[in-house]
Amino acid sequence: MTATLEVENLRTHFFTRAGVVKAVDGVSFAIGPGRILGLVGESGSGKTVTGFSIMGLVDPPGRVVEGRILLEGRDLATLDEDGWRAVRGRRVAMIFQDPMMTLNPVLRIDTQMVEAVLAHERVSREAALDRAREALVKVGIPSPDERLRAYPHQFSGGMRQRVAIAIALLHRPALIIADEPTTALDVTIQGQILAEMQALVREAGTSLLWITHDLAVVAGLADEVCVMYAGRAVEQGPVDAVLDAPLHPYTRGLIDSVPSRNRRGAPLAQIPGNTPSLLALPQGCAFRMRCARATETCLAEPPLYPTDDRRVRCFHPIHAEDEAWTG
Amino acid sequence: MSAAPVPADAPESPYARIARDFAASPLALGALAAFALLLLAAVCAPLISPQNPYDLAQLDVLDSRLPPGSTGADGQTYWLGTDEQGRDVLSAIFYGLRISLGVGAISTLAALAIGVAAGLAAGYFGGRVEALLMRVVDLQLSFPAILVALILLALLGQGIGKTIAALVVVQWAYYARTVRGTALVERGKEYMEAARGLGLPASRIVFRHLLPNCLPPVIVVATVQVAAAIALEATLSYLGIGVPITEPSLGLLIKNGFDYMLSGKYWISFFPGLALVLVIVSINLVGDRLRDVLNPRLQR
């Protein structure tokens, strides 16, 4: 089975006046049809820029400087602007973070959805409207006819995000990139949307790249996970394996930072220090300054170690016996 | 299923909401009504004027400089008096309103079109286009409007068309700067990225998604600028370089009567001046209210 999306050694850099910001610096992953990959990291770790790179939406001064992005076997780097436009929205769709801003506030829902259909298919307005109605039903919006004539401000955040998902589904894309679409929502709505997304992509065989900082979401939703830190993929593998037995100290720290993992009354665990500025990354491993396991070896750039189906970028990965020892 | 708050009333467009908010202010409604009346008087001038002020055959020199309310040689009443050629001041004001409002509206629309196009191009495409356009705007705005208009009219000569052209040149920069500022903000919003993510063509993104969201501040600037354009045209005409004397605007009517102000014949200048003040104040009041209604920071 070939992967829907293959990203190989992606590097997206921003050439600013203050220097070159290596927002994404060597990220590789693949997503098969119907599979869900969780791309996890803190703010500024490059996860959103990775999504934008796949969409071809990186604006100057940013540029994809290296790497290949293969969508359904086609190298996206070879596309011109028209080629990109034929791919965006049709083969790969994106869902954004802020439900308040993801729909145009001055256009009615039907206008926006019909426009999205007509951007890629020559059908009548009525046919496009039917498609829009179907898509709204599919994402669980009641009385779609009434909803179609409404403006975005008349919808709740969760409803708006459902509409955004419906728009993304219009052309049955091979890949959907979701950039923290549930972060701004209530947990109950988040739960519903996660469950519906999971069902929708399984049913349609769509691949889903779910960008988030929330490990709990990844644990419940994704098949595989890729953890990013300071522009690099530090650990990736099947979601259960990575979350149950993380190899990278950063992944371990992320998991320990989730409050529910701590015993009641015990102080919450945290990763000391801050994410380094992408303009002044420390030499060698970017996590070195915050890592309890760091040694002089870490002054060199750690390579990505493949271990079975896992990959980790660390000289001193955590092993099962260490875990038993540290408790 | 999530229970989203469902508004009971029919979907209300953003424009309907703006209209409702606008009507909440009696002063603004009154100003709008006054402006509508003035506009109606201008449009219907040939129907409601007692006399055609451009038709010299209808003028009677014997009736010159009559005070308001006096009866002329042919028995008609001059409600606002007559000027030195025996022209009915009321009729002259109706026709003058036509010229003043027409020049103001046409020049504003033309300047709006040019300014919005330039501002959108600068805001959306950025880079060199933006740098070039905005430096031209800066240069233009560093000169006083009246000076630029005076120089242009000195070069072009008199005439309604030339006055309009001068007003357009003076005004487009305001719109360009306003639109560019808004476009820069709107461009960074997610719905713009989402529109690009849908694979929509650039022209559609600019005109369908960017432009409508940039309009509110431009509408406010435009209402204020219409008033400014009318005032500037009146100034230019008063100085004798605006519209020709055969088609007097309000500014020219004021000028014609100004010589008689000190000899007690105030009405020849006063009533056209009053009309001009009414026009400008009513437009500005409407514009102020629009600014309050359309400014997202003042809402809620």
Q: Which of A84, A105, A108 sits opposite B213 (nearest CB)?
A: A105
Which residue does chain B place closest to A153, by CA atoms? B14
- The CA distance from A69 to B167, in Å, is 53
Q: Are both A295 and A257 inside the same structural domain?
A: yes
Is A99 among the domain residues?
no
Q: Are both A299 and A204 inside the same structural domain?
A: yes
Asked if A37 and A7 count as a contact pair (C-beta separation under 8 A), the reply is: no
Q: Are both A77 and A110 inside the same structural domain?
A: no
The DSSP secondary-structure symbol of B88 reads: B
Q: Is the pLDDT of residue B282 over 90?
A: yes
CA distances from B62 to A120, A312, B73 (A): 76, 104, 7
Domain with A263, as residue range(s), is 5-91+173-326
pLDDT band at residue B168 under the 50/70/90 scheme: very high
Q: Which stretch of A219-233, B7-21, B198-212, B234-248 has the lowest confidence by average pLDDT? A: B7-21
Asked if B230 and B245 count as a contact pair (C-beta separation under 8 A), the reply is: no
Total domains, chain A: 2
**Residue B262 at interface with chain A, using a CB cutoff of 8 Å:** no
Per residue in A132-159, pLDDT tens?
Answer: 998 898 888 888 888 888 888 888 888 8
**pLDDT attached to residue A323:** 52
Please provide the size of chain A in residues: 327
Give the CATH number for residue A321. Answer: 3.40.50.300
**Residue B296 at interface with chain A, using a CB cutoff of 8 Å:** no
Q: Are both A30 and A149 inside the same structural domain?
A: no
| pTM metric for this prediction | 0.78
**pLDDT attached to residue B175:** 93
Per residue in A44-68, pLDDT tens?
Answer: 888 889 999 998 888 888 888 888 8
- Taking the CA of residue A314 and the nearest CA in chain B, the distance in Å comes to 35
**Residue B204 at interface with chain A, using a CB cutoff of 8 Å:** yes
Q: Are both A280 and A199 inside the same structural domain?
A: yes
Which residue does chain A place closest to B202, by CA atoms? A85
The percent of residues in chain B predicted with pLDDT above 90, rounded, is 35
pLDDT band at residue B164 under the 50/70/90 scheme: very high
- The CA distance from B229 to B176, in Å, is 16
Which residue ranges form the domains of chain B, and what is each CATH number?
A: 89-294 (1.10.3720.10)
Residues of A in contact with B208 (CB under 8 A): 107, 115
Is A166 among the domain residues?
yes
Residues 77-116, chain B, touching A (beta carbon < 8 A): none
Is A97 among the domain residues?
no
Q: Are both A262 and A211 inside the same structural domain?
A: yes
Pick among A106, A118, A159 to test the B interface (most B CBs inside 10 A): A106
Whether residue B196 and residue A97 make contact (CB cut-off 8 A), yes or no, is: no
Whether residue B1 and residue A104 make contact (CB cut-off 8 A), yes or no, is: no
Q: Are both A43 and A130 inside the same structural domain?
A: no
Q: What angle do CA B112, B218, B232 make, to 5 degrees?
A: 55
Whether residue B199 and residue A120 make contact (CB cut-off 8 A), yes or no, is: yes
Whether residue A106 and residue B201 make contact (CB cut-off 8 A), yes or no, is: no
Which residue does chain B place closest to A116, by CA atoms? B198
